[in-house]
């Protein structure tokens, strides 16, 4: 029969990993949202007008309609400048709010990691066969008890480091 401490060890590793992955995905999602920014109705309208003006200007390719095409291109350029100004103003406003969210997320991540480290300080998070981690057994079991019954006990700090690296790799796979 499985003891309470064995059940705690078996559930701790996936729980910590899921927490780390969630923080990583939130962080990447906020950074991507910060880069893209929301598209407003004004931006959509300006883009549509620019596209329409450019389309009309390109359709007027005859020498007799050159002046009209040049006028449409100038109007499209003016609309592009207006769009750039609008995006710049909106970007400044949103950058501050996204930075606030990123800072709150970072502080939450640090506090969560500190709580996990305190909670699992001398308790192993997982156990791995000694043959799988042969040269790194002592590093992985740091502050967790070493080797027990042919298994290396994994400490919380090495597990957090490993989980963070794996979650960054997973985020890159999903192109976040």
3: phi > 0 → left, psi -120 to 50 → alpha, else beta; which?
beta
| Residue in the structure block whose two tokens are 């100038």 | 74
* Residue 9: pLDDT over 60: no
Q: pLDDT grade, residue 175 (50/70/90)? A: confident
Residue (of 141, 160, 139) closest to 151 by Cα position: 141
Highest-pLDDT range among 62-66, 68-72, 100-104, 109-113: 109-113
d(CA 97, CA 77): 31
Nearest to 83 by CA among 111, 114, 45: 45
Give per-residue pLDDT as tens, 101-122: 889 999 999 999 999 888 888 7
- For residue 7, the model assigns a pLDDT of 46
Is pLDDT of 147 > 60?
Answer: yes
Which residue has better confidence, 73 or 130? 73
What pTM did the predictor assign?
0.64
- Which pLDDT score, from 0 to 100, does residue 110 have? 94
Per-residue model confidence (pLDDT) at position 4: 44
Other residues' Cβ atoms within 10 Å of the Cβ of residue 33: 13
Average pLDDT of the chain, as a whole number:
80
Residues 6+ apart with CB under 8 A from 14: none
43, pLDDT greater than 60: yes
Cα angle 70-71-76, degrees, rounded to a multiple of 5: 95
- Mean pLDDT over 58-69 rounds to 79
- Higher pLDDT pick, 166 / 127: 166
Give 14-29 pLDDT, tens digit per residue.
888 899 999 999 998 8
């Amino acid at each position: 029969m499985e003891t309470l401490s064995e059940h705690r060890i078996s559930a701790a590793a996936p729980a910590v990993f899921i927490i780390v992955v969630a923080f990583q995905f939130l962080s990447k999602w906020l950074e991507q949202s910060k880069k893209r920014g929301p598209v407003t109705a004004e931006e959509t309208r300006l883009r549509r007008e620019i596209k329409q003006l450019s389309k009309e200007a390109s359709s007027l390719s005859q020498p007799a309609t050159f002046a009209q095409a040049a006028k449409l291109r100038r109007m499209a350029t003016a609309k592009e400048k207006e769009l750039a100004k609008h995006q710049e103003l909106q970007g400044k406003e949103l950058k501050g709010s996204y930075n606030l969210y990123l800072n709150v997320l970072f502080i939450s991540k640090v506090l969560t990691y500190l709580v996990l480290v305190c909670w699992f300080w001398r308790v192993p998070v997982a156990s791995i066969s000694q043959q799988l981690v042969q040269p790194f057994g002592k590093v992985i079991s740091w502050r967790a008890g070493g080797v027990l019954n042919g298994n290396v006990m994994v400490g919380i700090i090495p597990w957090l480091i490993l989980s963070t690296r794996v979650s960054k790799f997973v985020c890159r796979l999903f192109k976040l």
